[in-house]
Amino acid sequence: MSNLKILINGIVKENPTFVLMLGMCPTLGTTSSALNGMAMGLATLFVLVCSNMAISLFKKLIPDAVRIPSFIVIIATFVTVVQMVMQGYFPELYKSLGLFIPLIVVNCIVLGRAESFAAKNGVIPSFFDGLGIGLGFTLALTLLGSLRELLGTGKFFSLSVYPDQYGSLLFVLAPGAFIVLGYLVAVMNKLIKSN
Amino acid sequence: MKKLKSTLPNMFFSLTLICIVAAAILASVNEITAGPIASTKQAALEAAIKAVTPKYDNNPVQEATSIVAADGDSLMLYPAKLGDSFVGVAIETRAIGYGGEMTILVGFDGNGTLVNYSILQHAETPGLGARAEKWFRTDKNKQRVIGRSMKKGTLTVTKDGGDVDAITAATITSRAFLKAINKAYNAYAKREADADSGATLQETNIFSSARKEGGIK
């Protein structure tokens, strides 16, 4: 499989949110606005790329029996780096994403890619896999966040589109997240099948 | 290079190595970000204090003390002074709202008037309870709490017989918000009363100006 194919695979065919249905907790929890969704996606993207590369680089040094704890330590290290950088340089964003940042450690997408891809492939393909899956996750979260923000508050990336009293609060709350996600998955399935 | 077999020394070696490298990375990132993290926290707190107290020229964060509320909770108090005279305080107070703990920074001037407030942290419902940040500032009906004198008694929502309009569809949040403010004021008033040896036990009006106006009945 070529690197480009790996990249596209992560965005479309194995999109973590719409196809694999992984990492639902941050997906539903952080997408109350487009910016929050995108920031969460980018944080996960960074962790995915770094952990995928580190794990594929050191896979020979990690005995099979202790691979899960090793992966978790590597992933947790990168997550903590993201957390500290965000806290220091983007305090507003950190405030709104809050607990979801440290929870990237237990995001099953990250560990899933480490186990199923990075532990079996070289550094370069692992990089593209992390990038593809990360971009797929970012795009999905941004799309979900944009729709919820637009339907709920009448804004798109905080820019007013229509007066917010016409927005439906439902879409800002958790049930709205499920509804929008459901429709997006349906649309995505239709598109993949028709291809 | 062949993959390491899962023998005890190998596992020990590889886990130790990973942990050492991870620790080294984290230590160096911490070294870089510790400064910015501390300064953004400090800046956020100072901005909030500035917003809720009258104009001051001292350093309230450095002169901060803690006071004990009636329920045993310990609250941070930031005194604001202009020159040598005391102009007000900012108190970091908290109460349990609808979605969890709300942390509010509330400022009073020397006469016990509520100058302003800033919600530092909350987990209230977006669109309902989360409107507290704006609601109690808006000058409409009996919504506004800014500029109210706390000497006249504690703040209560109209539903409970008070004179503050609760946020529409978020009475629990409104109650918690006012409870936090009352808690801060009472704790502060009590401390001032205790510190003032000339004060009688019944006296809860703590400010000298209050006494001149005939606060003791």
Q: What string of pLDDT tens digits covers the 195 residues of chain A?
A: 688 888 888 888 888 888 888 888 888 888 888 888 999 999 999 999 999 999 999 888 889 889 999 999 999 999 999 999 988 888 888 877 877 888 889 888 999 999 999 988 899 999 999 999 999 999 999 999 999 989 888 888 878 888 877 878 788 888 889 999 999 999 988 888 887
CB pairs under 8 A between A and B: 78
Strands A159-160 and A155-156 turn out to be antiparallel
Q: Is A99 on the interface with B (CB under 8 A)?
A: no
Please indicate whether, in this complex, the C-beta atoms of B14 and A61 are within 8 angstroms of each other. Answer: yes
Residue B176 identity (one-letter amino acid) = A
Please indicate whether, in this complex, the C-beta atoms of A88 and B25 are within 8 angstroms of each other. Answer: no
Residue B175 lies in a domain: yes
Q: B145 with B59, same domain?
A: yes
Please indicate whether, in this complex, the C-beta atoms of B40 and A73 are within 8 angstroms of each other. Answer: no
Structural domain including B20 reads 1-32
Find out whether A23 and A17 touch, Cβ atoms under 8 Å: yes
Interval A85-116: pLDDT, tens: 988 888 888 877 877 888 889 888 999 999 99
Q: B5 with B110, same domain?
A: no
Q: Any idea which residue has 């800046």 for tokens?
A: B43
Q: Is A174 on the interface with B (CB under 8 A)?
A: no
Tell me which residue in A73, A89, A169 faces B36 most closely, judged by beta carbons: A89
Q: Give the per-residue pLDDT at B149.
A: 84
Q: Give the per-residue pLDDT at A111.
A: 92
Q: How far is A82 from chain B (nearest CA, A)?
A: 10
Report how far residue B14's alpha carbon sits from residue B21's, in angstroms, rounded to the nearest whole number: 11
Type and span of the H or E element at A177: helix A174-194
Residue B42 lies in a domain: no
Residue B39 lies in a domain: no
Q: B116 with B26, same domain?
A: no
CA-nearest of A141, A164, A138, A137 to A153 is A164
Q: B85 with B190, same domain?
A: yes
Strands B74-82 and B65-68 turn out to be antiparallel
| Three-state secondary structure of B90-101 | EEEEEEECCCCE
Interval B25-53: pLDDT, tens: 999 999 999 999 888 888 888 888 888 88
Residue B153 lies in a domain: yes
Q: B60 with B145, same domain?
A: yes
Give all strands (DSSP E) within A46-189, no chain letters: 155-156, 159-160
Structure token pair of residue A139: 């795009």
Q: Any idea which residue has 């199923």 for tokens?
A: A116
Q: B19 with B89, same domain?
A: no
Q: B56 with B139, same domain?
A: yes
Q: Tell me what percent of chain B is helix, strand and coil, each rounded to the nearest 5.
A: 40, 20, 35
b/e per residue, A2-24, with b = 16+ CB within 10 A? eeeebbbbbbbebbbbbbbebbe
Residue B148 lies in a domain: yes
- pTM strictly above 0.90: no
Q: Specify the DSSP class assigned to residue B105.
A: E
Mutate to test the interface with B, among A33, A56, A66, A120 (most CBs of B within 10 A): A66
Contacts of A120 in chain B (CB under 8 A): none
Q: B176 with B84, same domain?
A: yes
Find out whether A17 and A143 touch, Cβ atoms under 8 Å: no
Q: B169 with B202, same domain?
A: yes
Tell me which residue in A60, A69, A77 faces B26 most closely, judged by beta carbons: A77
Angle B156-B158-B160 (CA atoms, 0-180°, nearest 5)?
Answer: 65
- Evaluated on CA atoms A28, A119, A53, B21, the torsion sign reads positive
Please indicate whether, in this complex, the C-beta atoms of B2 and A60 are within 8 angstroms of each other. Answer: yes
Report how far residue B87's alpha carbon sits from residue B76's, in angstroms, rounded to the nearest whole number: 17
Q: How far is A70 from chain B (nearest CA, A)?
A: 6
Chain A residue with Cα closest to B18: A70
Interval B49-65: pLDDT, tens: 888 888 888 888 888 88
Q: B167 with B118, same domain?
A: yes
Q: B106 with B197, same domain?
A: yes
Straight-line distance from the first to the last Cα atom of chain A, in angstroms, rounded to the nearest whole number: 20
Please indicate whether, in this complex, the C-beta atoms of B18 and A63 are within 8 angstroms of each other. Answer: no
Residue B41 lies in a domain: no
Q: How many domains does chain B have?
A: 2
Q: B15 with B101, same domain?
A: no
Residue B6 lies in a domain: yes
Residue B40 lies in a domain: no
Neighbours of A137 (CB within 10 A): 31
Find out whether B135 and B211 touch, Cβ atoms under 8 Å: no
Tell me which residue in B3, B22, B33 faces A77 most closely, judged by beta carbons: B22
All residue ranges of chain B with pLDDT < 50 are 197-217
Type and span of the H or E element at A127: helix A123-153
